[in-house]
Structure 1
Amino acid sequence: MYTKVLSEQCIACGLCQLKAPEIFEYDEDGVAYVKLDNNLGTKEIPLPLLAQFKDAYTACPTSAIQRRDTPFPKDNKK
């Protein structure tokens, strides 16, 4: 599973980092991003972190956390 955060949808509520601190971090503007690959969606979530990820994914109130079974295409968007 691959993930990234749509920064334009993130409201910096803190739930993703609370649920999955090894996956999510906040930038200087307070917007969440995936720290595994700097929000590119190209590095697979390690198996031991999948339960944390699913908790964060389902808790996100704005659906800013995206997921895919394959890597995200490179589009230079965070």
Structure 2
Amino acid sequence: MAKFTWVDKETCISCGSCEEIAPDIFEYDDEGLSQVTLDDNTGTKEVPETFVEDLIEAEECCPSESIKVQDVPFKNKVSVE
């Protein structure tokens, strides 16, 4: 099943777990916040199947719940508390 993801930079605490778990998906931007490298954090490009297991683990381990994942591309990203 397709997966799409983005990082809510308003809630990201730069803990490093996502980049450690899924370095093919996440990296830090110039401000030290995590972002999705696949599509410049837009949530519009499908995560390759080979990375989906790492994506789900990163989402589950994110202490601030900043990693957003869904089965369809994101159109209007919003912070969810």
Q: Pick the aligned partner of 2:70 from 64, 68, 71.
A: 68
Match of 2:43 in 1: 41
Return the alpha-carbon distance in structure 2 between the equivalents of residues 69 and 48 of structure 1: 16
Q: Shift of residue 74 of structure 1? A: 5.1
In structure 1, the gaps of 5 or more residues are none
Q: Deviations over 1:47-77 (max 9, x none)?
A: 00011111101000010000111100056xx
Q: TM-score, normalised by structure 1?
A: 0.92
Q: Percent identity?
A: 43
- Name the residue aligned to 1:15: 17
| Aligned CA-pair RMSD | 1.0
Query: Counterpart in 1 of 2:53?
Result: 51
Partner of 2:32: 30
The gaps in structure 2 that reach 5 residues or longer are: none
Q: After TM superposition, what 4+ stretches of structure 1 lie above 4 angstroms from structure 2?
A: none
Query: Scaled by the length of structure 2, what TM-score is found?
Result: 0.89
Q: Tell me if structure 2 keeps the 8 A contact 1:40–1:74.
A: no
